[in-house]
């Protein structure tokens, strides 16, 4: 089954000391899909959380490694504008737009399932899709 991996799963696959590392890494190695935007979110998380103590250079290398192991899909301007235009009618506000962006990428790539650690965010944004954690 073709799955879309949210950035929360990707971050866990970069943290070898995380209890969720093995399951996340297995998903990353499973030939699944993510969005180009998710890679930017991973970099932001890895470099922005002082508890992780990951340098920008190390984070960039981790993101590059993820990009080589996943099917990374970008969205064009037309898809962004269509998604943003429909967001208000769906009650999408604030940072929820980023979850909606991931969901739209998943739909465009014909993914049947979204894997995330933020199940509640995606059940709201993708009521028509299967949403699972690790």
Q: Map out the domains of the chain as residue ranges.
A: 3-128
Domain 3-128 has CATH 2.60.120.10: no
Do residues 132 and 20 touch, judged by C-beta distance below 8 A?
Answer: no
Look at residue 125 in the predicted model and tell me its pLDDT: 81
**Alpha-carbon distances, residue 28 vs 10, 17, 124 (angstroms):** 7, 16, 24
Burial code (b: 16+ CB inside 10 Å, e: under 16) for 53-80 equals: ebeeeebeebbeebeebbebbebeeeee
Look at residue 24 in the predicted model and tell me its pLDDT: 97
Look at residue 37 in the predicted model and tell me its pLDDT: 94
Digits of tens for pLDDT over the chain (134 positions)? 789 999 999 999 999 999 999 999 999 999 999 999 999 999 999 999 989 999 999 999 999 999 999 999 999 999 999 889 988 888 888 988 999 999 999 999 999 999 999 998 888 788 889 999 99
* Cβ neighbours, 10 Å, residue 132: 11
The alpha-carbon radius of gyration of the chain (Å, integer) is 14
Q: End-to-end CA distance of the chain, in Å?
A: 15
Look at residue 93 in the predicted model and tell me its pLDDT: 87
DSSP type of residue 6: P
3-state secondary structure of 131: strand
């Amino acid at each position: 089954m073709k799955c879309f991996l949210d950035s929360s799963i990707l971050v866990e696959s970069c943290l070898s000391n995380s209890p969720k590392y093995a399951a996340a890494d297995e998903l990353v190695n499973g030939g699944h899909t993510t969005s180009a935007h998710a890679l930017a979110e991973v970099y932001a998380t890895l470099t922005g959380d002082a508890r992780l103590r990951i340098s920008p250079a190390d984070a960039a290398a981790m993101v590059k490694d993820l990009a080589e192991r996943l099917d990374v899909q970008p969205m064009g301007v037309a898809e962004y504008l269509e998604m943003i235009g429909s967001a208000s009618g769906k009650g999408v506000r604030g940072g929820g737009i980023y979850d909606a962006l991931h969901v739209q990428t998943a739909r465009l790539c014909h993914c049947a399932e979204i894997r995330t650690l933020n199940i509640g965010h995606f059940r709201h944004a993708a009521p028509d899709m299967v949403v699972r954690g690790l």
